Amino acid sequence: MAPLSVNQVLEILGDPRSIPALRRYYNPDPAPGSPAFSGRRFESLGRGCAHEDDRNRFTAADLLAVQCLSVTVPIEVALDLLEGDLGQQVSGLLSKIPADIVLGTGDATSFLEDGREANQAWHLLTAQDNVAWVTAGKLLARKRPHLIPVWDHVVRCALGRPNGAWLWLDRLLRVDEAVVLRRLEDLHEQAGLPSEIPLLRVLDVVIWMRHRDSHRPSRCPGLWSQAFIPSRSEEDTAARGEADQPMAEPDGQQRRPGVVQADAAGEFIPGHYCRLCGWPFSPSRGRRTKCESLKACQRRQQLPMHLRGDGCAYDDRVHPEWRDLHS
């Protein structure tokens, strides 16, 4: 999987789902039954009572804020950050990084290179017991939100698993006179986000919201293969009266609803077909997203061995043998 290009990132950001996703994520008062995303408080938590000195040192509010992003700092490491030598070392490094420096602008690169301040702080954190790279990155993103991106397995996969993520993103943001940064500014304004939300979080949230449901821990094809598949929920389908209607193919033939075709293989529709093999369920059987067991899968065992693997990857779905078995 190759890292995404500037044009690919712009295409994803320009998708009409991006602005509603940002508004939904940062909605402070979601409607009953709608998901509430705790990550919306990552930037704002405890800021009202923060002191100027807190800019370069970790506080209890910072440790709670990263929990809003579903990671927890081990208690001994947390105490060391608050009261011990680790906190003093990281604070000394942060004090050398301007608080308002923006990734992709000016001399931001110089603080991220190997051996420089941000890189040293990251290595200090990841050297602690049970502090993984995701947690270390989120801790530093809390202290330098305009320079350090929030980066996890979902976002990393969606962007094509680039090596040296910070420097890769810094380069990407500088291309074509910072065209991606300008697009992020537009999204920030159009979504009506608070000024405290950095542009890096706009990128993170758009990408994460798009890929979080379809991401797979292993052999995930990434977001780009799914980027332009129209979103279609069961409710939308039912509202249009299409739930039980056959779908017309370009040649005029009809096919059963829910059967995966090559042009729709990237979008998993809950209750319509299996996440593992693509074989459709009857909508009346509930909102399951996979077969009850591999043995229950109606067509998986008929696949040629080289197409079975860990479910049907995106490339498998456009394979002629896969289409023949699933049509």
Q: 318: buried, middle or exposed (CB in 10 Å: 19+, 13-18, 0-12)?
A: middle
Which one-letter DSSP state was computed for residue 264? G
Largest CA distance in the chain: 71
What is the tens place of the pLDDT at every residue in 139-171?
999 999 999 999 999 999 999 999 999 999 999
What is the tens place of the pLDDT at every residue in 181-194?
999 999 999 999 99
Rounded to the nearest 5 degrees, what angle is found at the Cα of 135, between the Cα atoms of 131 and 139?
115
Q: What is the mean pLDDT of residues 82-90?
A: 97
Cα(169)–Cα(158) distance, integer angstroms: 13
Listed in sequence order, the DSSP H helices in 95-222 are 108-112, 117-126, 133-143, 153-158, 165-190, 199-211
What pTM was estimated for this model as a whole?
0.70
Do residues 261 and 255 make contact, with C-beta atoms less than 8 angstroms apart? Answer: yes
Report which of residues 238 and 115 the model is more confident about: 115
Q: Rounded to an integer, what is the distance from CA 241 to the centroid of its chain?
A: 32
Cα(171)–Cα(154) distance, integer angstroms: 21
Structure tokens at 76: 């001994």
